[in-house]
Amino acid sequence: MLDTWFANAFPEAGSAPPQAEDDGLPAIVVKAQEDVLCRAALARLGYARVRAEYARHWRARKDTFTALGREGLWPTMDFVRDWLKAERKRIVARMRLPFLLAMAATIAAGLAFAAVAAILR
């Protein structure tokens, strides 16, 4: 159910988002499915590419992120901005432990060097 693709495409960048067929699902469920698909598509593109495209779209003052148009997804710029913020937090959190371990190893090596230098005096 979450892998449903919307076949509708916008004729122009400023159009409204595609409407799902009336398949009995509430609008909130359809919106949640679309959000999941957009997040997955943005993750496939990668943080750096999405950030570059976002900056290009932002300078052009577009309301819709058209970089995912060929996949039939048309997220808003606010949605993409929120995804970029969340992705950056995830990247920083993932890199925090290796950074702290490297810093601790550097401090330990510095202390060991100072101890050896003090002994050899």
**Tens of pLDDT along the chain (121 residues)?**
444 444 444 445 455 555 545 567 888 888 898 899 999 999 998 899 999 989 998 898 888 888 888 888 888 889 999 999 999 999 999 999 999 999 999 999 999 999 999 999 8
Read off the pTM. 0.64
The domain in which residue 57 lies consists of 27-93
DSSP character at residue 101 = H
> Burial level of 83, CB count in 10 A (0-12/13-18/19+)?
buried
52 occurs within a structural domain: yes
* Amino acid identity for residue 118 in this structure: A
Residue 8 within a domain: no
CA angle 21-22-25, nearest 5°?
Answer: 110
Distance CA(118)–CA(112), nearest Å, equals 10
In the chain, the number of structural domains is: 1
Interhelix angle for 27-45 vs 77-119, to 10°?
A: 40
SS3 assignment, position 64: strand
Query: Per the domain annotation, does 71 fall within a domain?
Result: yes
Is residue 39, in this structure, part of any structural domain at all? Answer: yes
